[in-house]
Structure 1
């Protein structure tokens, strides 16, 4: 079958989890000189990346002045990179405290992302970490916030507010992707599909980051089933992997980050399935812990190798 790209030119982006959020002098990344930004981007180009996903955990584009957004984009371009997507996290529009403020922040972010020239607005229903998550070695080992089950009013609010953001995104020429994330209304494959279908807009799809689910140190849905359900709805994709071990009785469950090749998910199989169902979006490499940038580079080379076996 025909594909959107070749193995060599398929856009594979790096996440920026490995970027420091402040200079050594304590200046936040958003306020740091462009030279600080350039230094970070050079690490990505050294790993062979031509694309980078900007995320608001590093710099919030909506809070930058127009001049600094231009400076950021110029710095990215000078490093030989392009920005296909921006990811906005931990700003749930149904947060019981900050939901309305987060909605306004999303609207400002849509405009900023459009000005950066990105094509994808990636977000979800993540909420800020709890104290327990911040204290844990791996934040997913502690319980985070939970969207209320069987609460039709909150569900309807999520649909309405996400649809409102989606309309704005469409007006600015952006695709919108909603990321799978534990204990939210995007916390399993069935709920994620139901939410996208309830929003009911063609440019709104899923970011099927099943890695967010298989890392949980509790029983989880089978990754094969989760991908089989969500990939047909995917328009953007975070890829990462974890090793996982359990005793079968639920008395022992553990997970730690791994390369894409070595973790629980067989990405050779999953990428083949994605192409079979017509996936044509960006692959974004994600990694927590250690040399995140280096592992993302290794994962990108692995992904291109897999693509080379699947694309004529």
Structure 2
């Protein structure tokens, strides 16, 4: 997914938190209002001030509107929630507000995030195969946009650790973009996607694994698994949501220029030509980005 790639490949920029523990173009820059009537009709409508928010927050609210909530699992009153690779912590803060009785833990490379309430806890961690929590600690474990940060060999260990720290009957949820950059895809977007795939391969990543995450989930350890797919629009043709997503993607594309030039041998003119053409393709083809949501329940025969 494009915004996860931006953390991997952007060179010469200060990055917020990396991906794990313990955004001149044709997209309009004018404000697009969201009325109070719109808000009243949809509990998860985009906030009126969304265009003033930081990128991580914009992406969060785009996904929340797309998924009609902060998550898809059928859970009622979780008591202990874990967000793996929490980034800025915005998902954690939303969950802590939604479930005021719960304790929400976010884990990433650093814990320097503002804490908005007593039931939010941020922890620094180092590797994707270490979750520094006791067994049977959580009844909801969430992970979003980490597939492009994990090599195939890291997934079994991560899933085992998730199973260890989860309670029997707990829910796990993975939210990831599909490996395809966007669909339908014109020549410029196809060329961009091919370049991203090459960059992923150079870093030991399997870009196609993201579409097969459900096959990594062991049915002996996780049951009631379900995979859902959602289409996130890309471009002005789709109104506010599409315009905001296009801005995120354009910022991401700009972040990739150094990698394309240094690692793939593109010239500046070649890259700029691609970057200037993709938006026209989005508008003509009504392109979308596919979001996969995979969730399941933890099964523990011994209950530890």
**TM-score (structure 2 length as normaliser):** 0.32
Structure with more relative contact order (C-alpha pairs < 8 Å, separation 6 or more): 2
**TM-score (structure 1 length as normaliser):** 0.32
